[in-house]
Amino acid sequence: MIKEDIIKRLPYQKPFLFVDGIDAISENGITGYYRFKEDESFYEGHFKDHPITPGVILTECMAQIGLVCLGVFLLKDELSEATKPQIALTSHQMDFYLSVLPNEKVTVISEKEVFRFKKLKCKVKMLNEKGELVCRGTISGMIKV
């Protein structure tokens, strides 16, 4: 399965797709990226005259790249051409260290901890363009094909 096919199978679309590309993927993890565009709707009100990316959106970006893209890859042998898996986030714990501004590109690095009975748990971290740690934590979810 090629990287572009993984992104096409995601159950998201703009404006709620936070995956631009995948740099590397294996049975043990994934590295991908997203650039937060200046015209994203959530910047209008978060925060007034000083927009930053909400933590819930950063968490969603990490879940889409670090959990869902990796899950699609891990289930590649069970997916047909038309299948789009259903994903349910079951838990997450996140620590935030830096803000992400409009037009900033982030990289998500995810390491698989457990994949059993279609439940995936990963350690994830997000880096900014300078390579600084933005946030990190764990994300778990169930994947249904």
pLDDT tens-digit map of 55-84:
999 999 999 999 999 999 999 888 766 667
Question: What is the DSSP secondary-structure string of 67-133?
Answer: IIIHHHHHTGGG--TT---EEEEEEEEEEE-S---TT-EEEEEEEEEEEETTEEEEEEEEE-TTS-E
For residue 87, name the pLDDT band (cuts at 50, 70, 90).
confident
pTM value?
Answer: 0.94
Which residue in 98, 125, 136, 128 sits closest to 36, CA to CA? Answer: 128
Q: Kind and range of the H or E element at 56?
A: helix 55-63
pLDDT tens-digit map of 127-144:
999 999 999 999 999 987
CA distance 67 to 127: 16
Beta bridge partners of 139: 92, 122
Mark whether 46 is an active-site residue. Answer: yes
Total structural domains in the chain? 1
Main-chain dihedrals φ then ψ at residue 137, nearest 5 degrees: 170, -155
CA distance 61 to 7: 13
Counting residues of the chain whose pLDDT is more than 70, the rounded percentage is 96
Counting residues of the chain whose pLDDT is more than 90, the rounded percentage is 75
Q: Please report, for the domain that includes residue 47, its CATH number.
A: 3.10.129.10
Determine the pLDDT at residue 80: 67
> Which residues constitute the domain of residue 134?
3-144
3, 35, 46, 136: the active-site residue: 46
141, 70 contact by CB (below 8 A): no
Q: How many residues does the chain have?
A: 145
For residue 91, name the pLDDT band (cuts at 50, 70, 90).
very high
Main-chain dihedrals φ then ψ at residue 83, nearest 5 degrees: -75, 130
For residue 1, name the pLDDT band (cuts at 50, 70, 90).
low
Q: Is the pLDDT of residue 12 over 70?
A: yes
